[in-house]
Amino acid sequence: MEACPDWLRAIVLLEMNTGMRRGEVVGLTRKGKVTVTFRRAARKAKIEDFRLHKLRHHFASWLTMKGENIITVMELLGHKTPAMTVRYSHLSPGYLKSAVEVLDDLSTAAEWKG
């Protein structure tokens, strides 16, 4: 975010926290200026291969990892199917590890009486 000019920070935060499509966000501003400036800011921050659209994936991923159900995320993103929303929701390795660790209590608490 530090690499973004002030006016671009507001746009990035808007997209990151709403999941709006680039066209919806850019419709509020001048398309070319937003895209070019975002690319420059990403390069300045030494972030490779990052496009404004990826903020929709960020939005979906964070909602999912915070426990929101896939249908709600689907509605917020404007997707027609849960399958498309699943493609947008990338779960972090730490999140996945925590999900598996839930089973640790199961194996130690029951001590497998059998």
- Residue 68 pLDDT class (50, 70, 90 cuts): very high
Over range 2-17, report the average pLDDT.
Answer: 78
Using alpha carbons, select from 60, 51, 71 the residue that is nearest to residue 18: 60
Predicted confidence band of residue 62 (pLDDT cuts 50, 70, 90)? very high
**Minimum mean pLDDT range among 11-15, 26-30, 84-88, 92-96:** 26-30
| C-alpha–C-alpha distance, residues 8 and 23, integer Å | 15
Cα-based torsion angle of the residue sequence 35, 36, 41, 44 in order, rounded to the nearest 10 degrees: 150
Question: What percentage of the chain has pLDDT greater than the value 90?
Answer: 36
Q: What is the pTM of this model?
A: 0.66
Domain hosting residue 109, numbered range: 53-114
Q: Are residues 61 and 80 in the same domain?
A: yes
Q: Are residues 38 and 89 in the same domain?
A: no
Specify whether the CB–CB gap between 14 and 26 falls below 8 A: no
**Which residues are within 8 A (CB) of 48 and not within 5 positions of it... i.e. 6 or more apart?**
42
